[in-house]
Amino acid sequence: MDITITVTDGVPIYRQIINQVKYLVASGLLLPGEELPAIRTLALQLKVTPNTIVKAYGDLETLGVVHKRRGSGTFVSEGRPQLAIRERRRVIEQRIDALPKRTS
Amino acid sequence: MGQTVVEVNDLSRSFGSKRALDGVTFHTMAGQVYGLVGANGAGKTTLLKHLLGLLRAATGSVRVFGLDPVRDPVGVLGRVGYLSEERDLPEWMRIDELMAYTQAFHPTWDASYARELIDTFGLDPSKKIKELSKGMRAQAGLVTAVAHRPELLILDEPSSGLDAVVRRDILDAIVRTVTDDGRTVIFSSHLLDEVERMSDHVTLIHQGRVALSGVLDDVRGSYQRSRLHFVEHLVQPPVLETAMVIEGGGRTWSVVHSGSLEQFRRAVVARGGEIVESRNATLEEIFMARAGRSRQVEAA
């Protein structure tokens, strides 16, 4: 899953994950029924404490963006979430900031 | 979660005339990651050594798994993994000998996990410790710290002086330790970026005292950094009650402050200014405000 974390803008990491998953779903880059990475996998990828992923996935479930299936994983729900303009701008800015690092 | 793993109450310690720890209280719960930060000599290592029973509590009490680590070292150390900054490994041993040696102390040693890590790190088991690079020593030390799958993993400045690849190995070990059956990690670091990513809780030790401790997101949520604009040119920094750090000059000032944003806004307006922008402070900004250090809490 294409997520970028920054610790310089004062936004809690779990909130950055929530915003970016919402963005990926809202823009169709994650489709309904698609499975999100396991907690351990995403924690290893982002180099963050696993409890942050647990919290982000939990909040995304409360928001109705994803749902958990017993014994398996976390899946994208039907219906696209709406992002506030400020959140959308922040996600896009973060993705732009991350661009030079990926091409170099 | 919910089980107390470490309970340090009112711990004080002096070395000669120097007060190394002064009334430190520090509790940890299972399944959480605790980041310990503070300048060189602030007392982080001294605190960690008490958890391992390497130092006896002079005043106050130390309990790990409900046990006194000095009186019951076997009961505590068998369930703890430890990587020290010095990585004091026996120089004359080969890596495979070091593994066999460490295994002897740990009935829960997982030999296939140890082999998997050695493989992943690309370590040659027949090499002697004294022939290893700094990064390889850290990797070998890391294997001995985690292969018995400890309930509590203690890492003292694990990233100190290491390159990005080995630092990643160490962070991976932290993630694996926590996701596998809710084990607990305490690590000290001067790399605030690392602490901010890897910690659920953060404790700042400053001159032997706990200057700040709490859930990381709560700590960060209680400090803001605001940019201020004043109508008039100010010769002196504006006097603002909740401000901890004020930088800038003239009509533009940048302030790290605690407490309610609304209260701060009123104070700024009363001085003839306005808040241009406000966001949660970063750990670095908070620690600079609380411990008076910039960039990193200590030099690498």
Which neighbouring-strand residues pair with B62? B8
Whole-number Å distance between alpha carbons of B97 and B107: 17
Contact flag A12-B172 (C-beta cutoff 8 Å): no
Give pLDDT tens digits along chain B (300 positions): 469 999 999 999 998 888 899 999 999 999 999 999 998 888 999 999 999 999 999 899 999 999 999 999 988 998 999 998 777 788 999 999 999 999 998 889 999 999 999 999 999 999 999 999 999 999 999 999 999 999 999 999 988 888 889 999 999 999 988 887 779 999 999 888 899 999 999 999 999 999 999 999 999 889 999 999 999 999 999 988 889 999 999 999 999 999 889 999 999 999 999 999 998 898 888 988 888 744 333 333
Question: CA A57 from chain center: how many Å?
Answer: 8
Give the residue from chain A lying closest to B173, CA to CA.
Answer: A44
Contact flag B171-A39 (C-beta cutoff 8 Å): no
Q: Label residue A100 by pLDDT band (50, 70, 90).
A: low
The domain at B4-213 falls in which architecture? 3-Layer(aba) Sandwich (3.40)
- Give the helix ranges, DSSP H, for chain A: 13-26, 39-46, 50-62, 85-103
Tokens of A32: 């309904």
**Mean pLDDT calculated for residue range A5-18:** 88
Model confidence pLDDT, tens digit, residues B150-181: 999 999 998 888 888 999 999 999 998 888 77
Model confidence pLDDT, tens digit, residues B203-220: 999 999 999 999 999 998
Global confidence as pTM? 0.87
Sign, CA torsion B158/B162/B163/B165:
negative
Contact flag A49-B221 (C-beta cutoff 8 Å): no
What is the identity of the amino acid at B18? K
**Contacts of A90 by beta carbon, 8 Å cutoff, 6+ apart:** A9, A11, A19
Domain boundaries, chain B: 4-213, 222-291
Whole-number Å distance between alpha carbons of A59 and A89: 21
Q: Which of B175, B195, B216, B218 to mutate to test the interface with A (most CBs of A within 10 A)?
A: B175
CA dihedral B46, B47, B53, B57 (to 10 degrees): 90
- CATH number of B222-291: 3.30.70, 1.10.10, 2.60.40, 2.40.128? 3.30.70
Q: Label residue A26 by pLDDT band (50, 70, 90).
A: confident
- Angle (CA) B235 B236 B238, round 5°: 120
Q: Which of A7, A53, A90 to mutate to test the interface with B (most CBs of B within 10 A)?
A: A7
Residues of A with Cβ-Cβ distance to B178 under 8 angstroms = 49-51
A96 burial (CB, 10 Å; 0-12 / 13-18 / 19+) is: exposed
Which residue among A10, A40, A51 sits closest to B225, beta carbon to beta carbon?
A10
> Is the CB of residue B144 less than 8 Å from the CB of residue B154?
no
Residues of B with Cβ-Cβ distance to A16 under 8 angstroms = none
